[in-house]
Structure 1
Amino acid sequence: MVTVSPPKSEASASCAYALQLPHDVCAPRIARVTLRAVLTRHGLTQLIDTAELLTSELVTNAYRHSTGPATLRLRALPGARLRVSVWDANPHIPPPFDRRPGPLHPVPAEADGGRGLLLVCHYADAWGGYPLGDDLFGRGGKLLWCALGPQAVFGISDAP
């Protein structure tokens, strides 16, 4: 049997995945492993390191601040870019996602947490969050997302 794969540009442009994650301490690791496999398959390997960090932080936030499952969505965007979004059942939008992108305020040194989403904001090209109203299926909660491209790789760009 002969199989035909689309050219890499078409494959990466059509990349869209959703992964249901139970409320489990292993969820961030499962999300990272899945992300690595998807990006490798679709020729977006230059995004893996940064995307793993950002995905891990978003999924960890969902695990720590929600009591139910989460959903990870990955979507390739034009220009070898990626959008990562994580839904969870808690409608509270945490800082710094609760305000427009702009200057980031440091987390106090004595704080127990709050640095993970700052990493997302720092390394992502774009980010945001919004609460979701209840729908016919009873899903409310929130969606946090970020987008990154080849230039967002840990702040390194091709510019001199």
Structure 2
Amino acid sequence: MQKVTHPCPCGYLGDQLRNCSCTPVQVQRYRSRLSGPLLDRIDIHLEVPAVPVNELLGQPTGESSATIRARVNEARGRQRQRFADSPRLYCNAQMNAKEVKRFCRLDQASTDLLHQSITRLGLSARAYHRILKIALTIADLAGAAQPQLPHLAEAIQYRRTQFEF
């Protein structure tokens, strides 16, 4: 599922070049239009800031599309192997809570971080399982058999609201 929204009514909250003209009350009212249960069903909450024009005009940096495609294909191969005995599953996103428990094993440090994050951020059981599925996907992309602490930390970051007062 995809969520496209501005962080506030004027659209400039957190913008590096323009100042937001909204009050905290306006931002809260604007955000309350999207219910918590609806937001809970969105796997990744990600801020995408405006790209400065000099970066748009410059040479591309980072990995090529071909390199990324190869890594994604390898991750999908790991998932096919993982779910070889589960005919209705072909990717991490399809797992239910029972399957997440079966296929996604965390070490103690990762378990502690996850429990601490769920408590501090006030996340639901649905969010808990979505974090684990995202962490497993991040691990697959990194070539790891199971999520490690950095994979889990990244997945948790995707559940946080970017702009809070």
TM-score (norm 1): 0.25
- Structure index of larger Rg: 2
Q: Which structure has more strand as a fraction of its residues?
A: 1
Greater percentage in helix? 2
